[in-house]
Homo-oligomer: A and B are copies of this chain.
Amino acid sequence: MTNKKNMNTFSHVPPGFRFHPTDEELVDYYLRKKINSRTIELDVIRDVDLYKIEPWDLQDLCRLGTEEQNDWYFFSHKDKKYPTGSRTNRATAAGFWKATGRDKAIYSKHELVGMRKTLVFYKGRAPNGLKSDWIMHEYRLETDENATTTQAS
């Protein structure tokens, strides 16, 4: 199981180290490597299909080690609403992710490397739905729109 594999590789980090990445590290290192299918030394970012799972399932799927977590990191390809269109379908079986606020630019050494979108999970179906406490940050590279790496909390 990939989940188990993740836990084992994570145990190679010496005691006292915690995964607290910056936006820049998530975009410019992890997301870039994921998109280019490059090897990641210690791949703590689980590949998931975000639109087939509910936010509350992420806690088990994206667990790192045995400590309590409030953030979960994962990588998912975008799901197009219509094969030919550019609108993204962010619905799951139980609800949908809805963008909120403005996207945030992410810089590395003063160079724009990516953007961060903030989304909120609503239970039910748009345009109705019950707002939840689940927040997701969706990161995208400025150079490739095909994939995103995301963090839910």
Contacts and interface: CB of A to CB of B under 8 A. Distances in A.
B17 A18 contact: yes
Nearest to A22: B16
A127 interface: no
Nearest to A29: B15
Interface residues of A, number: 18
A75 to B, nearest CB: 14
Interface of A: 13-22, 25-26, 29-30, 40-42, 44
A139 to B, nearest CB: 13
Contact of A16 (B14, B15, B16, B25): B25
Nearest to A17: B17
Contacts of A25: 15-16
A50 to B, nearest CB: 20
A14 B40 CA distance: 9
A18 B22 CA distance: 10
A14 B41 contact: yes
A13 B16 contact: no
A5 to B, nearest CB: 16
